Amino acid sequence: MHMMTPKGLGLFIMITGVTQLIIFLIAPGHFTYRHLGRAWTARWYNIFNFLVVMLLAPAASILLMKGYTRLFAITQVPMTSPALLTVLEIVGLFFYCLALVMATSGRLSLGQNFQLGGLEPSPEAEFVRKGIYRFIRHPMYGSILYLLFGLGFLTQSYIFFMGFLFMFVIIIRLIPLEENLLEAHFGPSYTEYRKRVKALIPYIV
């Protein structure tokens, strides 16, 4: 037995998506591909992030609300244990909500300093260490990973798990490239911050 009906899950994803859209309107930041050069990791991250947030998640919510569950059944991992299914959905809901909290806190903390991943900081950029940035250096990268991970458990669809693995590889390669740019821009203060605060999981990694 599912913890949430397909329509309920679809509505939940849609509501949270609209919430993130409102956050975007409050703190839009900057959207430009300046200074990317040959950084293919940054390009792939930004393209895939756009596809997940603006296309894949909304499409999944609409399909679930309309009852087109057969499209998900094609990519679902078979589950024969109702208890295991419930546990997976609880884990998925936890990571999905955690992703929303991280993304919201990250965007609000950055404000107008938000920009696409992997870019060289703009000349007027401020070094943000408030909010969630006191605990992790890259909450926006962490949020997309947790979002895909959570959706994978909620829908039991390997499509989202494949997306998680793809994005994980991209982000692991992108973080050191971006941090070299941040360190060059902000100097020793970012070097100290980089040593003190973990990248994706507080106090762990």
Look at residue 137 in the predicted model and tell me its pLDDT.
Answer: 96
pLDDT at 79 over 80: no
- Residue 117: what are its φ and ψ, rounded to 5°? -65, 140
Structure tokens at 71: 């499209």
Exposed e or buried b per residue across 163-192, where buried means at least 16 C-beta atoms within 10 angstroms of its C-beta: bbeebbebbebbbeebbebbeeebeeebee
* pLDDT tens string 21-69: 888 777 766 665 555 545 678 888 888 888 888 888 888 888 888 877 7
In this structure, which topology does domain 6-20+33-115+126-196 adopt according to CATH? Four Helix Bundle (Hemerythrin (Met), subunit A) (1.20.120)
Amino acid, res. 192:
E
**Whether pLDDT at 70 is above 80:** no
Instruction: Choose between 40 and 72: higher pLDDT.
Output: 40
Contacts of 1 (CB under 8 A, 6+ apart): 82, 85, 86
Range in 37-41, 90-94, 167-171, 180-184 with the lowest mean pLDDT: 37-41
For the chain, the average pLDDT equals 86
Q: Domain limits of the chain?
A: 6-20+33-115+126-196
Do the Cβ atoms of 52 and 163 come closer than 8 Å? yes
Helix (H, G, I), strand (E, B) or coil at 125: coil
